[in-house]
Amino acid sequence: MKVLAILPDFIPQEEVKRTVAQIMPEIEITNTTEFPKSDADVLIVTTFTIVDKNLIDRMPNLKFVQVASTGYDSVDVDYLKMKGIMLSNIPTANKQSVAEHVIAMTLVFLKDMINLNEELKVHHRWPMLTGSRDLEGKIFGIVGMGMIGIQLAKRLMPFNVGIVYYDIRRLPPDEEEKYGLTYMDFNDLLKNSDIISIHLPLTEKTRKMFGEKEFSMMKDGAIFINTARGEIVDENALVNAMKKKNIKVGIDVYEKEPPDFNSEIFKMDDAIFSPHIAGVTIESQQRFLTETISNVLRYVQGLEPLYRVI
C-alpha cells in the first residue's frame, strides 16, 4: 500500500523519513501538491495543505486521508465522503500544549505583565503599585468541553478557580465532579465569567458565534482568549467590545492567516497575539508525528484507524 506525505517546507523531510524508514520504508514525502498524478492509497497532510477536489481527483487510488493535526477544516470533507474516502485527525497530541498556552495568556493579563514590562524596559520607571490580580477565586468559562477543554480544566483546578463550561453535550455528573466543573447555558457563562476561553471546532453553527450581542453580555474588563478558530469570532464586534467594555484579548487564531496587520485589532491596547502556535511545542510535534504514523500503520495493517472523522 503506497503512502504519500505532503509536509510544509519548515518540517525537515529527511529527518521525518529517517524516523519512519524502519516501519514505513516505502513512504513518499514531498512539500508540494504540484504533481500531475499520484497512485498513493494513503495521504498524510498537515493543516497547511488544502485537500480539495483538485487534489483528490489526481489521486484515483486514494482510500484514506490522515491529517496530522486536531483541525481538519483544510479538507473538503463532503467530497471525501462522496468518494468513500476515510478521514482521521489527531485530536490528542496538542491538547495539553493549548491548555498551557491559554493559562499563560491569562496570567499575562492578570499579573499586569504587559504594563510592568513596558514601565521597566521602555520608560525605565520603577512602579510601586500594580493592577496585578490573582487567578484564584476567578470564574473561568470554557466554551467547548472536548479534549482540550478537559486538559484546561485539569490544569486550572490547583488555582482554586470556579470552572464553568458550556457545550452542546453536557458531561456526565461524575465527569463534572472529577474536574470541578459547573455546567451553564451559553448566555449565563458569558455574564458570569471573568475569563472566557474558546475550544470549539469551526462549523456553520459556530461561525461568528461571538458577535456584538455575545460580547455585550460579558463583564467589563473580562479576559477573552481564542485558540480555536478565528472565524468563530466577529473581529469588528471584538474590537468594539475592547473599546466599550475594556475587554482584554489573547488571540492565537485569525480568519485569514497570516492576518491583515493593518487591522484595528493590532492597534488595540490590552491585546496579546501568537501566530496560531498554541498547540505547537517541541513535545507536541513529536507526539503528532508518532500518533500520525501509528494511526496510518493501523490502517495499512487492516485495523480501524483511530479518531475517524468519516
pLDDT per position as a tens digit, 168-184: 999 999 999 999 999 99
Query: Which residues, in sequence order, are CB contacts of 24 under 8 Å at separation 6+?
Result: 3, 293, 296, 297, 300
pLDDT computed for residue 302 by the predictor? 95
Q: Would the pTM count as exceeding 0.75?
A: yes
Helix, strand or coil, per DSSP, at residue 303: coil
Cell 466543573, residue located:
181
Q: How many CA atoms lie within 13 A of 100 on its CB side?
A: 10
Per-position DSSP letters for 86-138, written without gaps between them: EEE---STTHHHHHHHHHHHHHHHHTTHHHHHHHHHTS----S------STT-
Determine the Cα–Cα distance for residues 106 and 36; give it in Å rounded to an integer.
48
Domain 3-93+281-300 classification at class level? alpha beta
Of the ranges 1-10, 36-45, 236-245, 296-305, which one carries the lowest mean pLDDT score? 1-10
Residues of the chain with CATH 3.40.50.720: 3-93+281-300, 95-273
pLDDT computed for residue 231 by the predictor? 97
Measure Cα distances from 154 to 142, 157, 160, 208, 220 in Å: 12, 6, 11, 28, 27
pLDDT per position as a tens digit, 234-275: 999 999 999 999 999 999 999 999 999 999 999 999 999 999
Per the CB < 8 A criterion, the answer to whether 210 and 231 are in contact is: no
Determine the Cα–Cα distance for residues 282 and 49; give it in Å rounded to an integer.
21
**In the predicted structure, residue 10 carries a pLDDT above the cut 90:** no
Give residue 71's Cα distance to chain centre: 7
Q: What positions carry a catalytic annotation?
A: 229, 257, 276
pLDDT computed for residue 195 by the predictor? 99
In the sheet that holds 28-30, the strands lie side by side as: 28-30, 3-6, 42-45, 64-67, 86-88
Q: How confident is the model at residue 70 (pLDDT cuts 50, 70, 90)?
A: confident
pLDDT per position as a tens digit, 167-225: 999 999 999 999 999 999 999 999 999 999 999 999 999 999 999 999 999 999 999 99
pLDDT per position as a tens digit, 265-305: 999 999 999 999 999 898 988 889 889 999 999 999 999 99
pLDDT computed for residue 16 by the predictor? 82
Determine the Cα–Cα distance for residues 204 and 26; give it in Å rounded to an integer.
39
pLDDT computed for residue 286 by the predictor? 83
* Assigned architecture for domain 95-273: 3-Layer(aba) Sandwich (3.40)
Determine the Cα–Cα distance for residues 181 and 177; give it in Å rounded to an integer.
6
**In the predicted structure, residue 71 carries a pLDDT above the cut 90:** no
**What value does the mean pLDDT take over residues 114-133?**
94
Size (the chain), residues: 310
More confident site: 36 or 47: 36
More confident site: 132 or 286: 132
